[in-house]
Amino acid sequence: MQERAGVGSSVVIKGELTAREDVVIAGRVEGVINVIGHLVVVEAGAHVAGDITATGIVVAGRVEGSLIADERITVVNAPALDAIGSDPALEGPFDMVFIDALKPEYEAYLAALAGRLLPGALIAADNVLWSGRVSGSRPAAADDANTAALRAFDAAVLADARFSATILPVGDGLLIATWRG
């Protein structure tokens, strides 16, 4: 399994970030990023205010600074589902996937990524209980597309023999699954 470091969506780093493993940034970094011999990914919604130096750089978020790569710089300027289907930088294989997107697109994300998962890969999907509306402990409007989509997604993953899955009742619900392939 390849080592990866992450800067979560609620994390703000001020200063220099240096690593010798792939770095995925979902939050904010204000300062220089130096990643020796590896990849830096700036996810959609992330913000880097500073220079990035790495072997490879993938930018889907916002960067204010210079990009210096030994091999390749890829700028992803597309809706995520389109990018997953067409961008070679996102071809995988992946040992971990986190899904937190438009709720009617959850199943499409999983379908797009399934062939790119390593055996034993971890899949996590956020908000799968949707404040109790998915389980029925809180009422949902009959035309609530988000609740209907999450119910279908949960049922599909839990019934799919390619996954070993469960739902943790933390926060808005977290589906955790491993890929059997």
From the centroid of its chain, how far is CA 1? 17
Domain positions in the chain = 4-75, 92-179
- Write out pLDDT tens, residues 33-84: 999 999 999 988 899 999 999 999 999 889 999 999 999 898 887 778 888 8
**Would you call 23 helix, strand, or coil by DSSP?**
strand
pLDDT surpasses 90 at 28:
yes
| CB neighbourhood size of 179 (10 A) | 22
| CB neighbourhood size of 127 (10 A) | 19
β partners of residue 142: none
* Burial class (CB within 10 angstroms; exposed 0-12, middle 13-18, buried 19+) of 130: buried
- Write out pLDDT tens, residues 129-166: 999 999 999 999 989 999 999 999 999 999 999 999 99
For residues 129 and 169, the answer to whether their CB atoms sit within 8 Å is yes
pLDDT surpasses 50 at 1:
no
Topology of domain 92-179, CATH: Rossmann fold (3.40.50)
